[in-house]
Structure 1
Amino acid sequence: MTNTAPQSPPTLQQSLCFDNTFARLPQRFYSRVNPTPFEAPHHLVSFNPAVAALLGVDPERNDPQAWIDLISGRSLPADCEPLAMLYAGHQFGHYVPQLGDGRAILLGEVRNGQGEKYDIQLKGSGLTPYSRSGDGRAVLRSTIREYLCSEAMHGLGIPTTRALAIVGSDAEVYREQIETGAILARIAPSHVRFGSFEVFYRRQQHDAVKQLADYVIEHHYPALATHSQPYVALLEEVVQHTARLIARWQAVGFAHGVLNTDNMSILGLTLDYGPFGFMEQYQPGYICNHSDFHGRYAFDQQPGIGLWNLNQLAQALIPLMSVEQAQAALEQYEPLFVEHYLALMHAKLGLRENNDDTAQLISDLLAAMQANQVDYTRLFRALGDFDSHPQASNTILRDMFVEREAFDSWAQRYRKQLQQEQSDDASRREAMRGVNPKYILRNYMAQIAIDKAQQNDFSEVDRLLELLRDPFAEHPQMAHYAAEPPDWADQIEVSCSS
């Protein structure tokens, strides 16, 4: 007799299809280590079903406890192969010979039904051979910040790692004070960094540099495999991805805070969210990291630091190419960055023409914003409502400037340019609202979510996650998040411990 009994839906572990390509590399690239669960009870702080879907998992068919058990490390799928990746890096300009995943463990690589592959990395999951003097843990505060910001960046269309979930615990973790511990599950196509190459170049293990480059080409840049100079082409691709990434940061007003080479993705993703910040009042020299005493990673330094970091990567790849080839690849960075940044800024102003006059228009607006301490995000969003009629007062925009005459002078030139382009206000408004977000993750918003979460109220985390998924929409019921930040927001400081 045929058994017609209904089949049980697959468990979470059965739904995840592991394909651990990085674990097939020799062990000098990593150390095998299992997560260490907190001894205290665990709870689910927040869960991102959109990211679960990327892994090929239907989150509605899995018990939340199964996610808690997986992310905490209490119940691991049989075919995952946990490991901590080895890398080095330049931190604040100084080479550190061995870093590695000191508080993160790559649980494994999952391939979904479309053939896309994603690392699942657990951040804060315990000691690894690379923890040095650390405890291998993360705190609830820092995991909430990365969880929200990585999804905010995705919502803005900026390449980034993604956040799957946060599992919290009552376990105590000491940073500058006692805090509660948590584990962040994040995903990315790869966590290979510039520093992944640097460590082997500095050890004069040039065969490992080649092996890692071959791995990255095979799994992440397969079109380069048949290139006549595949390693030169790889460097060129990374240069181009990095130039476009940092141009997008600059256009949206994002400061990373710790642009060490170990925090630079070989795929051009925004990686490792610590003391980040979205600029509020326009200040080119904005320093979001309280630990960055000399302003190395200030907002206006990011484009140059991107090139400096690429130089370190190019140096590590020198065993695979000539100095002249590496230099030629690096020379692509600046013109591509400028081209992409100006294109983004023209779109933010709703301008179709791209010439010296429009570039000056952009520069002069930024100078006036700086002089008048105008909020960067709010100004560009409001500019979509600019009325180009000669008699229009544009009062809302004027009132953002202390020196209203400075805006009036600029507005006359802007109006003239729009008329010259025969721009239609309604069409321009729609286009500008598609590139100028109404909502960004301001530090005070994250702090409110953190404060509530520390009282076991996770509702604000989920509310912000929902809002920041679509930062360009109006969301009238949440319009207060687009208002000027409260006075106390200026007192928030974030540092490398964040």
Structure 2
Amino acid sequence: MISADLTHASGGHLDGPPPAAAWLNRYAALGSAFHTELPAQGMAKPVWVARSDGLAAELGWPADWWQREGWQALDVLSGNAVWPGMCTLATVYSGHQFGSWAGQLGDGRALLLGEVQTQAGAMELQLKGAGATPYSRMGDGRAVLRSSIREFLCSEAFAGLGIPSTRALAITASALPVRRETLETAAVVTRVAPSFIRFGHFEHFAHTNQHAELRQLADFFIRHHAPECLAAANPYVAMLERVVRQTATLMADWQAVGFCHGVMNTDNMSMLGLTLDYGPFGFMDGFDPGHVCNHSDHQGRYAYARQPNIGLWNLHALAQALLPLMNADDDAEREGAPLLAALDVYKTAFPAALMQRMRAKLGLLTEQADDRALVDDWLKLMAAARADFTQSFRRLSSLTQAEDPAKLRDLFIDQAALAQWLQRYRDRLSAEGRNDDQDRARRMRAVNPAVVLRNHLAEGAIRAAQAGDFSETERLLKVLQRPYDEPERASDAALPPDWAQTLEVSCSS
């Protein structure tokens, strides 16, 4: 157990934690079966790369938290020190990776610091990249600057888009060398979420026949993160249905912005329906339903069009893990019938959530029976032209009853097919009895982003940072926090340059 007294790597002593931080260690209280307590491995001469001032404000911290005298936040968030009350630990979980059982996994390069109280409730803080843990599986437990910038920017970009996600408070870095495909330098991301509990946490205790611990974890999760389930006839089934609904809406969110996760393993699935673990992710440029963003995904398991079904597959794995919690004296429960019924909710919740988002993206205010065909045909048209996903929807907002926007036509090769669909779309808009093009354009631009974190934008920030210039990371963060506004720099919303076609991301990203 780390002492409540703050110990600094150089022997100094910090004056105290942020005044608003009443640290909780509820997960630590579960016991040693759930985690291993150990200190972080710090970095020499760390520097700030970027910080999310908006997230710091949500935590209740003052604007100067990162440089306030006595806090020494740079050392704390680099793994060189702890604030009083923190209890650093790595959690154990297991999971399915690329469809196969991988056995025990765990926080191989993440350390939970504890929970800080905020107006929105308790938030866990976690360091990613602060050294090896018992779950590192021969890894070094480090994160590199390249992948840390990608995670930091995308976490906060998702917050700007309104998509559930873990958040990123800060990145710190040092000259510490880290070997990946090439020699890179180390960085640490401070991640924030109400909970980092994954499907894999439950799978671990089910597959190791630790059923008492499985029940303890489920009770813990329900008590602290899903208390409304306590009133249900079977709280564990209610918990699963809650996760099913949240996962369904998350998958719809991803599909609606053309996002590919890349590593949708069960150990990367959040019990709170959050986007978790940004590794080889990508926002599509040219629309391709079969797009695979992870260069390591040789079978295309996590292709864009497959993500909704993979979400359901992962939920089945979670349901299987919860089976030992069913009443063995009840035939239906013992055989998992209530769990299967909870899973069936996905089959209606996902398509409903996706159509809700697609109607909004098309500026439709009512529901009509042929809306699904209209959306499907629009996506087929985009796919045939490999039209840019983000810009196709954004430029469609400029359509009027009298004119097809030239910038929209520029994205499509088959102009006749485009004109035919646009006439159907106009007819659909007219059927609503609303002909206010300006109002529709305003609503569409409020849900169709002008800017997403395309790979080439992230790459520009990474290259600058690797050369010692962090200003592009900071600038891009501000742009991504307001993704629905037209950016001051037109290139942020422009189609990707030709050189971006050669960019690849893999599991090391």
For normalisation by structure 1, the TM-score amounts to 0.95
CA contact (8 A) 1:13 1:76 kept: no
Q: Which residue of 2 aligns with 1:4?
A: none
Where does residue 491 of structure 2 map in the other structure? 480
Partner Cα separation in structure 2 for residue 98 and residue 482 of structure 1: 42
CA distance in 1, matches of 2:474, 2:19: 27
Deviations 1:428-484 (A, max 9, x none): 111101100000000000001000000110001001100000100123x22221111
State which of 407, 422, 444 in structure 1 corresponds to 2:456: 444
Deviation at 1:270, TM superposition (A): 0.2
The reply to whether residue 312 of structure 1 matches residue 320 of structure 2 is no
**Alignment partner, residue 350 of structure 1:** 363
Look up the match of 2:98: 92
Alignment partner, residue 388 of structure 1: 401
Q: Which residue of 1 aligns with 2:330?
A: none
Match of 1:210 among 212, 215, 220: 215
Post-superposition Cα deviations, 1:309-365, rounded to whole Å, max 9, x if no partner, equal 000000000112221001000000011000000110011001123233221111111
- 1:170-185 correspondence runs (5 A): 170-185=175-190
Distance 1:125 1:61 in 2: 21
Residues 1:42 and 2:70 are matched in the alignment: no
Q: 1:115 to 1:276 in 2, by over 3 A?
A: closer
The one-letter code sitting in structure 1 at the alignment partner of 2:192 is I
Contact kept? 1:12, 1:62, Cα under 8 Å: no
Structure 2: how far apart are the matches of 1:49 and 1:215?
31
Which amino acid in structure 2 is aligned with residue 185 of structure 1? T
Which residue does 1:429 correspond to in 2?
441
Question: For 1:143-162, what aligned pairs fall within 5 Å after superposition?
Answer: 143-162=148-167
What letter is aligned with 1:50?
G
User: Do structure 1's residue 111 and structure 2's residue 117 form an aligned pair?
Assistant: yes
Whole-angstrom distance in 1 between the partners of 2:65 and 2:221: 34
How many angstroms does 1:72 deviate by? 1.3
Matched residue type, 2:442: E
Judge conservation of contact 2:398–2:441 (CA < 8 Å) in 1. yes
Q: Hey, what's the Cα distance between the residues in 1 that align with 2:357 and 2:231?
A: 33
* Deviation, structure 1 residue 14: 4.3
The answer to whether the 8 Å contact 1:86/1:98 transfers is yes
Offset of residue 234 of structure 1 = 0.3
Corresponding residue SS for 1:72? coil
Matched position secondary structure for 1:453:
helix
| Mapped partners of 1:466, 1:174: distance in 2 | 31
**Corresponding residue number in structure 1 for 2:483:** 471
Q: How does 1:345-384 map to 2 (within 5 A)?
A: 345-384=358-397
Distance, in Å, in 1 between the alignment partners of 2:454 and 2:208 is 41
Contact 2:79 2:130 in 1 (8 A): yes
May I ask how many residue pairs the two structures share in their alignment?
Answer: 485
Shift of 1:262: 0.2
Deviation at 1:226, TM superposition (A): 2.4
Looking at structure 2, the residues matched to 231 and 357 of structure 1 have their Cα atoms a distance apart, in angstroms, of 38
* CA shift in 2, pair 1:193/1:393, >3 Å: closer
Matched to 1:243, the amino acid is A
Aligned twin of 1:193: 198
The correspondence for 2:344, drawn from 319, 331, 334, is: 331
Map Cα deviations across residues 232-264 of structure 1 (whole Å, 9 max, x no partner).
100000000000000110011000000000000
CA deviation vs aligned residue, 1:56-109 (integer Å, no higher than 9, x gap): 211325516822111112221121111001000000011111100001100111
Residues 217 and 224, structure 1, Cα contact 8 Å, conserved in 2: yes
| Structure-1 residue corresponding to 2:60 | 56
Partner SS, residue 95 of structure 1: strand
Give the Cα–Cα distance (whole angstroms) in 2 for the partners of residues 256 and 205 of structure 1: 31
Q: Structure 1 stretches (4+) deviating beyond 3 angstroms?
A: 10-15
Residues 486, 493 of structure 2: 8 Å contact kept: no
Matched-pair identity in %: 50
| Secondary structure of the corresponding residue to residue 108 of structure 1 | strand
Q: After the TM superposition, which of the residue ranges 143-152 and 52-61 deviates more from structure 2?
A: 52-61
**Inter-CA distance 61–272: structure 2 relative to 1 (3 Å threshold):** closer
Distance 1:16 1:393 in 2: 54
- Give the letter for the 1:413 counterpart: R
Q: Partners in 2 of 1:339 and 1:366 — Cα distance?
A: 17
Contact 1:138 1:183 in 2 (8 A): yes
Q: Is the 8 A contact 1:310 1:330 kept in 2?
A: yes
Task: Determine helix, strand or coil for the equivalent of 2:96.
Answer: strand
- Residue 252 of structure 2 is matched in structure 1 by 247
The residue type equivalent to 1:430 in the other structure is R
Answer yes or no: is the 8 Å Cα contact 2:251–2:308 preserved in 1.
Answer: yes
Structure 1 portions without partners, runs of 5+: 1-9
Confirm whether residue 70 of structure 1 aligns to residue 82 of structure 2: no
Letter in 2 for 1:101: D
Q: Which segments of 5 or more consecutive residues in structure 2 lack a partner in the other structure?
A: 1-14, 327-332
Task: Report the Cα distance in structure 1 between the residues aligned to 2:362 and 2:20, rounded to whole angstroms.
Answer: 46
8 Å CA contact retained: 2:283, 2:454: yes
State the match for 2:30 in structure 1: 25
Conservation of the 8 A alpha-carbon contact between 1:20 and 1:110? no
Question: Match for 2:504 among 490, 493, 496?
Answer: 493
Counterpart in the other structure of 2:138: 133
Partner Cα separation in structure 2 for residue 494 and residue 347 of structure 1: 31
3-state SS, counterpart of residue 72 of structure 2: helix
- Are residue 261 (structure 1) and residue 273 (structure 2) matched? no
Q: TM-score, normalised to structure 2's length?
A: 0.93
